[in-house]
Amino acid sequence: MAIKTKHLGKPSRIPASPEKADLDRVPNPHADTHYVARFTAPEFTALCPITGQPDFAILVIDYVPDRWLVESKSLKLFLASFRNHGAFHEDCTVGIGKRLVERLKPRWLRIGGYWYPRGGMPIDVFWQHGALPEGAWAPDQGVPPYRGRG
């Protein structure tokens, strides 16, 4: 089976916006097994839609694939496309989760957006699609609550 992807093994540029980003997918070789795949983006960046100032977050994406896996290079490019995109924390986090669900149709997906403070207050955003299948293990996302310098 030939795998057709736009980015894998080819030179690629960061998309101009999340809407223009392509999320490639590849067949899941273990579609008969419930397992969790995790992607962590420790340096996620977007722009405040009001001030244009940068916002920073740690994103943790866990999913139980069905027929499809997200191709990691396309996911990195998709996430990087937010660098010059203005959106609130909630919109970025939930929008990323929904886009992955739309493209992959996973059995389960959760995303945690652990945003660094702006205006003295961090905002953490969590979204989940479906229920974790029996027999699948999803560990804690491992990002402690923001505690400042102490």
Specify the amino acid at residue 28.
N
Band of pLDDT at residue 6, cut at 50, 70 and 90: confident
Say how far residue 114 (Cα) sits from the centre of its chain: 12
- Going by the DSSP 8-state scheme, the letter that residue 90 receives in this structure is H
Which CATH number fits the domain that encloses residue 52? 3.30.1130.10
> Is 92 an active-site residue?
no
Cα separation of 48 and 55, whole Å?
6
Grouping H, G, I as helix, E, B as strand and the rest as coil, residue 64 is: strand
Name the active-site residue from 48, 66, 91, 124: 48
Q: Would residue 107 count as lying in a domain?
A: yes
Residue among 22, 24, 32, 55 flagged as catalytic: 55
Count how many domains the chain has: 1
- Does the annotation mark 55 as catalytic? yes
Quote the pLDDT of residue 1: 56
Residue 11 lies in a domain: no
What residue numbers bound the domain in which 46 lies?
A: 21-129
CB count in 10 Å sphere of residue 45: 16
| Any domain includes 13 | no
Q: What tens digit of pLDDT does each residue of 59-80 get?
A: 999 999 999 999 999 999 999 9
* Predicted TM-score of the model (pTM): 0.94
Q: Specify if 68 maps to a domain.
A: yes
Three-point CA angle 15, 17, 23, nearest 5°: 60
pLDDT for 120: 84
* Count of H-run helices and E-run strands, the chain: 2, 6
